Amino acid sequence: MCKELKIEFSHTLVSEIHVGKVEELLPTLLPEGRVVAVVDRNVRHLCDRLGVEELFVVDASEEAKTIDTAAKIWSCLVEKSADRNTFLLGIGGGITTDLVGFVAATYMRGIRFGLVPTTLLAQVDAAIGGKCGVNFGGYKNMIGCFAPARWVVCDVNLLSTLGHRELRSGMAEVIKTAILGDAALFALCEQNNIESLAGNDELFGEVVRRAAAVKCAVVQRDLLESGERKKLNLGHTLAHAIESLTREYTHGEAVAIGLAYVAAKSLNGGLLTQNDYQRIVAVLQHYDLPTSVDLPEDELWAAMGHDKKNKEGRIGWVLPTGIGELVISCQ
Ligand SMILES: NC(=O)c1ccc[n+]([C@@H]2O[C@H](COP(=O)([O-])OP(=O)(O)OC[C@H]3O[C@@H](n4cnc5c(N)ncnc54)[C@H](O)[C@@H]3O)[C@@H](O)[C@H]2O)c1
Confidence check: pLDDT of 219 > 80? yes
Cα separation, 80 vs 83, in Å, equals 9
> In the chain, which ranges are E strands?
3-8, 14-19, 35-40, 53-58, 87-92, 113-117, 131-136, 139-146, 151-154, 316-322, 325-330
Give yes or no: 131 in active site: yes
We report the CATH number of the domain holding residue 150 as 3.40.50.1970
Boundary residue ending a domain (111, 142, 161): 161
CA distances to 15, 72, 85, 142, 144 from 109, rounded to whole Å, are 19, 17, 12, 20, 14
Tell me the percentage of the chain whose pLDDT exceeds 70. Answer: 95
Tell me the percentage of the chain whose pLDDT exceeds 90. Answer: 88
Give yes or no: 236 in active site: yes
Model pTM score: 0.95
Same domain, 33 and 147: yes
Can you give the residue range of the structural domain that contains 64?
A: 3-161
- Could you identify the atom of ligand 1 that is nearest to the CA of residue 173? 6
Cα separation, 321 vs 325, in Å, equals 6
Torsion of CA 293, 296, 301, 303, to 10 degrees: -80
Same domain, 151 and 173: no
| Ligand 1: lining residues by beta carbon, under 6 Å | 40, 42-43, 60, 62, 65, 92-96, 98, 118-119, 121-122, 125-126, 129, 131-132, 140-141, 158-159, 161-162, 166, 251
Q: What's the pLDDT at 68?
A: 98
Same domain, 92 and 157: yes
Boundary residue ending a domain (161, 191, 219): 161
> What is the DSSP secondary structure assignment for residue 315, as one 8-state letter?
P
pLDDT band at 56 (very low <50, low <70, confident <90, very high): very high
Same domain, 291 and 179: yes
For residue 300, which amino acid is it? L
The active-site residue out of 131, 168, 209, 210 is 131
Is residue 76 within 8 Å of 53, Cβ to Cβ?
A: no
Same domain, 187 and 318: yes
Same domain, 168 and 305: yes
The active-site residue out of 173, 206, 243, 253 is 173
Same domain, 145 and 198: no
Boundary residue ending a domain (110, 133, 161): 161
Q: What's the pLDDT at 305?
A: 80
Structurally, the chain folds into a number of domains equal to: 2
Confidence check: pLDDT of 202 > 80? yes
Predicted confidence (pLDDT) per residue in 113-172, tens digit: 999 999 999 999 999 999 999 999 988 899 999 999 999 999 999 999 999 999 999 999
Provide the mean pLDDT of the chain. Answer: 94
Mutate to test the pocket of ligand 1, among 139, 166, 236 (most ligand atoms within 8 A of CB): 166
CA of 41 to the centre of ligand 1 (A): 12
Coil, strand or helix: which one is 83? coil
Coil, strand or helix: which one is 113? strand
Same domain, 153 and 169: no
Same domain, 132 and 279: no
Same domain, 33 and 112: yes
We report the CATH number of the domain holding residue 315 as 1.20.1090.10
Q: What's the pLDDT at 58?
A: 98
Same domain, 73 and 120: yes
Same domain, 147 and 217: no
- Could you identify the atom of ligand 1 that is nearest to the CA of residue 133? 1
Nearest CA to ligand 1 atom 28: 118
Tally DSSP H helices, then E strands, for the chain: 13, 11
Cα separation, 61 vs 68, in Å, equals 13
Mean pLDDT of 261-278: 96
